[in-house]
Amino acid sequence: MLNIVLFGPPGAGKGTQSQKIIEKYKLQHLATGDMLRAAIREQSPIGVEAQKYIDKGQLVPDEMVINLITGELDNHHDVPGFVFDGFPRTTVQAKKLDEMLDAKKAPITIMLALEVEYDQLLARLLNRGKMSDRSDDQDEGIIRGRLDIYNKTTLPVMDYYKAQGKYRGVNGMGTIDEIFERICQVIDSSR
Ligand code: AP5
């Protein structure tokens, strides 16, 4: 199994690069942000609850996303691996993911961390906000708040994978294809 955690702050390009990775390596994409937005569109109980957090740019409670991922892992057998996009975002989530994957004897292979300068992140998200209907992209204050939460709550997840020797930093500046080439080099040298 090739299991990749694609990590990085809001606007780092996780969603963009995930699409290219899953196509090339035939992996299953599991993106908690996409799952939560789908639940909001359906106005399911989980969606109604998640919306209260997402609209404000806050993380939804760990238990909610862990339940989502558990269900998805159980739904996808016989895949060569997963790309986890936007998950784990807390060390609680990271530990839980390890437990789930250990039970399947298919641990995380690498954590790819996209490194992008703050001003570039802000510019990308403000630019997307002009065209997207994402509630958390519309207001610069909310975007800055998401970046603050990443620095305070999500960055420690990097140390969690560093301690396991699985952290791989990737320069996330440049064109989408340039970044993808760097990602492929790291993946191919880690298999
Ligand atoms: P989520 O959907 O995961 O959003 P995010 O992490 O804020 O990330 P984004 O989608 O904004 O950015 P990205 O890194 O995917 O970049 P993208 O490729 O889109 O989460 C949303 C919310 O859901 C969270 O705030 C939270 O409330 C909740 N949530 C989700 N998971 C959770 C969890 N595990 N625990 C708790 N809560 C959770 O690119 C961004 C833009 O830049 C695009 O317009 C793109 O076209 C552009 N772009 C990409 N690459 C380049 C490039 N190289 N050059 C120029 N532009 C580029």
3-state secondary structure the chain: CCCEEEECCCCCCHHHHHHHHHHHHCCEEEEHHHHHHHHHHHCCHHHHHHHHHHCCCCCCCHHHHHHHHHHHHHHCCCCCCEEEECCCCCHHHHHHHHHHHHHCCCCCCEEEEEECCHHHHHHHHHHHHHHCCCHHHCCHHHHHHHHHHHHHHHCHHHHHHHHCCCEEEEECCCCHHHHHHHHHHHHHHHC
Strand order in the sheet with 110-115: 28-31, 82-85, 4-7, 110-115, 167-171
Position 77 scores a pLDDT of: 84
Closest residue by Cα to atom 12, ligand 1, is 11
Q: How high is the ipTM of this complex?
A: 0.98
Predicted structure pTM score: 0.97
Q: 9 CB under 6 A from ligand 1? A: no
The pLDDT tens digits of the residues spanning 22-40 come to 999 999 999 999 999 999 9
pLDDT bucket at 191, cuts 50 / 70 / 90: confident
Question: Pocket of ligand 1, candidates 60, 139, 150: which has the most ligand atoms within 8 Å of its Cβ, to mutate?
Answer: 60
Query: Quick one: fold of 4-183?
Result: Rossmann fold (3.40.50)
